Amino acid sequence: MAQFTDLLSTAFLLLVLYHAIKYIYRISPLHPLVRFPGPRLAAMSNLYGGWFDLSWRRSYVKELAGMHERYGPIVRAWPNQLHVRDLDAYNQIFRVGTEFIKSPHFYTNPVLTHSFFNITSTRAATARRAMMMPFFSRDAVRRAEKTLLNPIIDKFVDILAVQHANISDDGSRVVDMTMATRCFAADSVMNFEYQKPLGVLDAPGFQAAFIHAMDGFSATQQWPIYFPKTFGAIFRAIEMLPRWMVERFMQPFALTQWVQRVCFERIAALQEGEAGLEKGEAGLEKGKGAPTVFDIALNPKMEKGHPRLTREELAADAFLFMVAGTDTTADALTAAVFNTLYNPEIHARLRDELRTLRPKCDSSGWAELERLPYLHGIVKESLRLSYGVPGRLPRVVPDAGAVFCGQKIPPGTQVSCSIFVYHHNESAWQDSFMFKPERWIVSENHNAEAVAELEKRFLSFSRGSRSCPGMNLAYANLHLLLARLFRRFDMELFETGKEEMEWKDSFVPMTRGHLRVKIREAED
């Protein structure tokens, strides 16, 4: 027994000594990043950032903006990772054909194993992306507008008019717009991908179990970033447990597994021929219907270098596209509705602009709506302030090294650029936290060159060969739905202020409360 106790004591002391040496090395002159400024604790341990990200209300990305004001454009915000706030550096890292690969230490989330998102190699990701991009092109989205997008929008606004709401004292309806927009986005994305919506819009009060499952998934997403090996081991162990046990005692994991099963079943259905459409890219080229993105993936053009994906890879991409498409579109819609209603002048100006269209905007298309300058400004500003993914998406400096802001960056260094930090750089965005649609409109005091400069700094969809493939789908849905909402309904905020809309970085923004809106049919 004494020997065992001595062995444990020795092991403990060795562990303490190992970590002490590691922390001392990270802040010593021997470390290659020691010359870059930043908080000393951040240089010593990743848990400095974890202190913020793993708490209930704080987010490390919100601290990074202040660090840049204090330390300059390059900050050592983690022991082996630099955070960079410089547009030229961003464009160098994320350009098409970049040699900066994704960090294999960061993209390890077991839920996204086999997905496009977790591929670190730029070449492999480019081949997989090239196969699917024809489906997400602007022309493809416009062709799908009447058959795939508008039916979901029609259903959504009709439900808002007659169902799923509490009646307030003045006779208007109170809607949980946070859940409503998430249900809309999920059904729209799945209808676009599979030509078969999930049906979550039919949930009473928009309280769909599927959406709560996605929220449960999102709420856990900082943990695998800081504890990738531990989280991976836990996830693999949970996958081996009986389903009833997971559903009873580990609901977030159970809900995540449920979402994955839905995606897997949809892929299996397509492989068994239930899509009923002409397959592959040929359907797009011939204009025969609208094949799903997974019809294209199931029938790759090998002569173009398209990879043949396994069912697991297809299901992982289906899960990724659904989660990413739902979160980003719904977050932007929520930001648009809240900020428009919170600012009466913006609301009035938008309503005046929409009155120039045909009644209720029912027949107005995306191409027509995006030419409305104020509506388009609201869409852009909503995307800017909903961020997509607000935090870091680190890349690795190639073997040749790099030069940012006149400083040499050692090969193998992880570098990251957070959209939140770039979108709140006051030297580029005056009054960056204010919702100002007019900043996107050419006027006497704001010329076309100024707007073009903002476009260069607009990063909500990232940039280059790893940018968001669903950008055109998001733009179309935002223009179409916002026009219909604000033309058909009179809306006002209900017990919702800026405090409820404060968000935490859970890889995607998660607001402290929900957006609740009183809604009734417009009289004009």
Give the integer Cα–Cα distance in Å for 80 and 42: 10
Q: Binding site for heme: which residues?
A: 468
In angstroms, rounded to a whole number, what is the distance separating the alpha carbons of residues 29 and 36? Answer: 11
Euclidean distance between the first and the last CA atom of the chain, given in angstroms as a whole number = 85
Q: Are 64 and 48 in contact (CB under 8 A)?
A: no
Sign, Cα dihedral of 141, 365, 492, 497: positive
Three-state SS at 126: helix
- In sequence order, what DSSP letters do the residues of 508-521 get, joined into one string? EEEESS--EEEEEE
CA separation for the pair 98, 82 (Å, rounded) = 18
- CA distance linking residue 335 with residue 340, whole number of Å: 8
10 HSE (CA, 13 A, CB side)? 6
* Residue list, annotated binding site: 468
- Bridge partners of 311, per DSSP, are none
In the structure encoding, which two tokens stand for residue 465, read together? Answer: 């060969």
Secondary structure of residue 62 in the 3-state scheme: helix
DSSP 201-238: GGSGGG--HHHHHHHHHHHTTTHHHHSHHHHHHHHHHH
Q: Classify the C-alpha dihedral 185-189-195-199 as positive or negative.
A: negative
8 Å CB contact between 187 and 199: yes
Beta bridge partners of 520: 490
Amino acid at 21: I
The contacts of residue 387 (CB under 8 Å, 6+ apart) are: 331, 419, 420, 423, 460, 509
Hey, which bits of 232-326 come out as E strands? none
Closest to 354 measured CA to CA, from 375, 333, 371: 375
- Give the Cα separation of 193 and 292 in Å (integer): 5
Q: Is 243 exposed, middle or buried (0-12, 13-18, 19+ CB in 10 A)?
A: exposed
User: In angstroms, rounded to a whole number, what is the distance separating the alpha carbons of residues 84 and 405?
Assistant: 9
Task: Report DSSP letters for 75-109, one per residue.
Answer: EEEETTEEEE--HHHHHHHHSTT-S-EEPTTT---
